[in-house]
Amino acid sequence: MSFEFDTDTAVSRAGDDLFHARVTDRWNTFAGPNGGYVLATATRALAEIMPAPHPLTVTGHFLRPLKPGGAEIRIHRIKAGRRHATARASVSQHGKDVLVVLATFTDLGSVKGRELVLGEPPALPAPDAAIDPLRELDAAMIPSIARRMDLRVGEMPGFARGEPSGRPEFTAWMRFADGRPPDPVALVFFCDAMVPTVFEIGELVSSTVEMTVHVRALPADGWLALRVRTRHVIGGYHEEDAELWDSTGKLVAQSRQLALLAR
């Protein structure tokens, strides 16, 4: 059997520096394919040509709306050093660039060095004691991406009750619904897998301009705890900062995206 995420982010080599992919409609938000899903697909293509196995820092600039359907991913390797390897990728659909990516990979399994963690995982009830928010929602309110994941929250988000809290932040447990364990490529996706924080300030559309993910460690199996927060909306632009903590309480990824409210 193969997992949904692996099937739907698969890339096939079509040339020295060219891969084909298929953006499915199974990871759709209400605004089309999720950006993190397509960024993860590009990351998989990069992994094919990188001498190091894991994405360490991945930046994507989203140029045009993503659509379900075929995509071409063109790769250019920039440097392969002893510790870090850097490359770029361009994802195009119908002959136009939709996403450009710059990434550095490393081997997270061989990382050794100082540890000092001053942050903490989000305070969430244990997954078994938490709420499945999808059970509370009308099926028509659930986009396809949410069916790919198990979600658990401490309390129903305000926006889902029609009462945005005014605090643009969420905490939640997440995992793939089909049991696929998390790995660095999946973390690129999970950083962007929650609904936009600005839903909690009454906004309904947020378009990502740029998103950078730092994979900080190999995740353990099990649930991921997400904390995502916006602190500054300025001229409609806002940052969305996410952290992912694994089931052992370890920080495994951080991301920041710059996004724009609907005009």
Binding residues vs its own copies (CB under 8 A)? 56-57, 59, 61, 63-64, 78-79, 81, 84, 86, 88, 90, 97, 100, 102, 104, 108, 111-119, 168, 201, 203, 209-210, 212, 214, 216-217, 230-239, 251, 254, 256, 258, 260-261, 263
For the four alpha carbons of 14, 211, 172 and 115, in that order, the dihedral sign comes to positive
Say if residues 21 and 71 touch (Cβ distance below 8 Å): yes
Residue 31 or 102 having the CB closest to its own copies:
102
Nearest to 227 by CA among 202, 191, 261: 191
| Residue 130 CB, nearest approach to its own copies (Å) | 25
Amino acid sitting at position 16:
D
| Residue 204 CB, nearest approach to its own copies (Å) | 12
CA distance 90 to 76: 9
Amino acid sitting at position 52:
A
Residue 128's φ and ψ, nearest 5 degrees, are -65, -25
Residue 118 or 123 having the CB closest to its own copies:
118
| Residue 153 CB, nearest approach to its own copies (Å) | 21
| Residue 252 CB, nearest approach to its own copies (Å) | 9
| Residue 32 CB, nearest approach to its own copies (Å) | 17
Residue 31 or 260 having the CB closest to its own copies:
260
Q: Give first-to-last CA distance, the chain, whole Å.
A: 44
Residue 63 or 131 having the CB closest to its own copies:
63
CA distance 150 to 146: 8
Residue 56 or 145 having the CB closest to its own copies:
56
DSSP state of 153: B
Length of the chain (residues): 263
